[in-house]
Amino acid sequence: MGEPAGRWRELNKAYWDERVPIHLGGAFYDVDGLRAGPDSLKDFETAEVGDVSGKSLIHLQCHFGRDTLSWAARGATVTGLDFSAPATGAGTRLAAELGLDARFLTADVYDAVSAVRGQTFDIVYASFGALNWLPDIGRWAAVAAELLTPGGFLYLAEFHPFSFVLDDETASTVTHDYFDEGPEASGGPGTYADETAQTEHNDTVEWRHSLATVVSAIAAAGLRIRFLHEHDHTFYRQRQSLESRDGQIYRHPDGVPRTPLTYSIRAEKA
């Protein structure tokens, strides 16, 4: 991909910095609803993570902390970490406004261990749309392992990489190489939360890590994988062929063979 790939962090940070106020003010993230009661987590996330009361949790690549604050509302002591200062600043303000036990740190995810000054956590959490911004998943998994207390666990919920190799119109034909993990130029004007938004920083770099890459990286970091679950639904229209069900849940149409759209992994530190 050449020169833009070498500037991946600079390009991606400018992209996300610019989109923070758009996301705070738009309907997609529903910040007013968050103020009424933080509850943005998915049903399978809360079921698979379990009770977090009294536990410490760090949310890597947290954006402005909608999910971070939702874990805090469930009783966890949370730390949100993101490389975007506008995002973590917004999270800090929301936490104070809501009176929740949450702090936000501005740091690259690869620098998380130094950012928390060696603190460890019961739970390391990362979710939807995080890993595609990182070139080195092995390094990410090693950071997650180092952040965990003994007996703690990593919980990852992500978009399934196979869902991005299919054609957009019908999701029935493989049109992209599953094993080509990037980097690839991406981005474009606007944002998934507001496609009509006027934006200046529109160039990004992403990676499409295979499921094998992610699972192998977590195992190589010394974590014991307790489960890998694949799910037949997602939370935005990843493909035009998907149908909206139950609000923001999207599924394949009835009668169409299903493919995995999201997945979740829980892996423990001995």
- Residue-wise pLDDT tens digits, 157-198: 999 999 989 888 887 889 999 999 999 999 899 888 888 889
Contacts of 264 (CB under 8 A, 6+ apart): 44, 45, 48, 155, 156, 157, 158, 227, 228, 229, 231
User: pTM for the whole thing?
Assistant: 0.95
- pLDDT confidence of 3, banded at 50, 70, 90? low
Query: So what's the pLDDT on residue 206?
Result: 96
Distance CA 172, CA 105 (A): 42
Position with higher pLDDT, 122 vs 241: 122
* Contact yes or no for 33/69 (Cβ under 8 A): no
pLDDT tens digits for range 222-268? 999 999 999 999 988 878 889 987 778 999 888 888 999 999 999 99
**CA dist., res. 244 & res. 215, Å (int):** 29
Q: What is the pLDDT of residues 38-63, one digit of tens each?
A: 899 999 999 999 999 999 999 999 99
Domain chopping of the chain, boundaries: 3-268
**What does the pLDDT look like over 79-110, one tens digit per residue?**
999 999 999 999 999 999 999 999 999 999 99
What is the distance between the alpha carbons of residues 178 and 163, in angstroms, rounded to a whole number? 10
Residues contacting residue 118 through CB under 8 Å, at least 6 positions apart: none
Strand-strand pairing, 148-159 and 262-268 = antiparallel
Pick the CATH number of 3-268 from 3.40.50.300, 3.40.50.150, 1.10.8.50, 3.40.190.10: 3.40.50.150
